[in-house]
Amino acid sequence: MMDTLVITGAQLLGADSADIVVENGIIAEIGSGLSRAGARVIDAQGLVALPGLVDLHTHLREPGYEASETILTGTRAAASGGFTAVFAMPNTSPVADSAGVVEQELALGEAAGYATVQPIGAVTVGQKGERLAELGAMATSRAKVRVFSDDGFCVFDPLIMRRALEYVKSFGGVIAQHAQDPRLTEGAQMNEGVVSAELGLAGWPAVAEESIIARDVLLAEHVGSRLHVCHLSTAGSVDIIRWAKKRGIDVTAEVTPHHLLLTDELVRGYDAKYKVNPPLRREEDVLAVREGLADGTIDIVATDHAPHPSENKACEWQAAANGMVGLESALRVVHQSMVQTGLIGWADVARVMSQAPARIGLLDGHGTPLEAGQPAQITLYDASREGTFTAADLHGRSRNSPYLGRDLPGRVEWTIHHGVVTVESGAVVEELHSCDAPSGRREGK
């Protein structure tokens, strides 16, 4: 049986203080002075209570790249960052382009128990961009896939992109595009601009992202289907999404924590922990994506958690892999870049890091309000805490974080996944009290 929990004095979305009673994985009651005989009491005085965070863009690497991450280690990292659900990108080996692979990922996530793992299916076979993958089979599998992406690669052929948008429309799915024109970014090493010119590194121009987004929002409008833009990173991309939404096109977009905080100036030291795709951009782009997130043009924050073994980063810049780990640091970076700057409040954090990601991914049981009768997906966050982000804050297999040694505010103190405590007083629970929580997967069409 799951523990009955009484959470006392939590600040709901950073506002009113209240007690929360959790029974059988459900929020049973919210009020003041609450108690239950024999319940486990969690003192949450001064802690911000948020609905469990949902990451629409995570690389868990399993199957095939377990040296970088596994579903177990990745979901432990997720829990430590306050996440109760993650969407697993399909660039595994074999690629998650069939019902068998996505069902395997689902089962591994259920066995781990630290967070709900919802597989994302590949758009094309092997992510090669040549022909559509088994979208229908993945959609009707036990994993009930609703998000499809070739992330890491752009679906560059406009005809294949159109066909994919048409196909997923029949079951309410969404295509999540990695917007990168490969012809404009061949050999690119960093953002194209003043810094790349000074360093003599091949540049990744903003137009390579913006041109694909412009094409795809028009395709989505033509087909009448849903489009999601992964890791948007430029001021021009924000403008295109803003235009598309005003036009009524069904498009959503995400920004990563690192694109909210870090700039291409960090590349001057040739430290490969700052090498990522899309690359770190200019200060002007950082300010623009912050504004876009604050005004709702950008719908969500997604980590693009991309673990790599140390040897893939501890090498010369040109040979290093793209990617950063980000699950453990995401909420703290959003706190610093968006909340401390006064751009958004904690209710907005809940929207962009929990409610909207679950809605876009059609994931039931997550992103729900902190109300009686709702699933107990709860993150308790100490917003008053200050500290330096260190390797001790990382709980996955890889250490390629751009924040090591950087001061970041806050800390996740408790994470509760379907009533099961996965993080206790800032530490990941080694053995979960109960693994019989429901999966939280979407059970509809």
Closest CA to 438 of 422, 417, 416: 417
Question: How would DSSP label each residue in 286-309?
Answer: HHHHHHHHHTTSS-EE---B----
Q: Estimate the crossing angle of helix 206-223 against helix 235-246, to 10 degrees.
A: 10
Q: Which of 264, 258, 214 is nearest to 237 (CA)?
A: 214
Looking from the CA of 79 toward its CB, the CA atoms found within 13 Å total 32
Report CA 366 to chain centroid distance, whole Å. Answer: 14
| 114 within 8 A of 79, measured Cβ to Cβ | yes
**Cα Rg, the chain, nearest whole Å:** 21
Q: How far apart are CA 99 and CA 138, in angstroms?
A: 5
Strand order in the sheet with 83-88: 53-58, 83-88, 116-119
Given a contact cutoff of 8 angstroms between Cβ atoms, the answer to whether 231 and 274 are in contact is no
Residues that are catalytic: 304
Contact status, residue 440 vs residue 375, Cβ threshold 8 Å: yes
**Tokens coding 319:** 């040979």
- What does DSSP assign to residue 37? T
Element of type H or E holding 158? helix 158-169
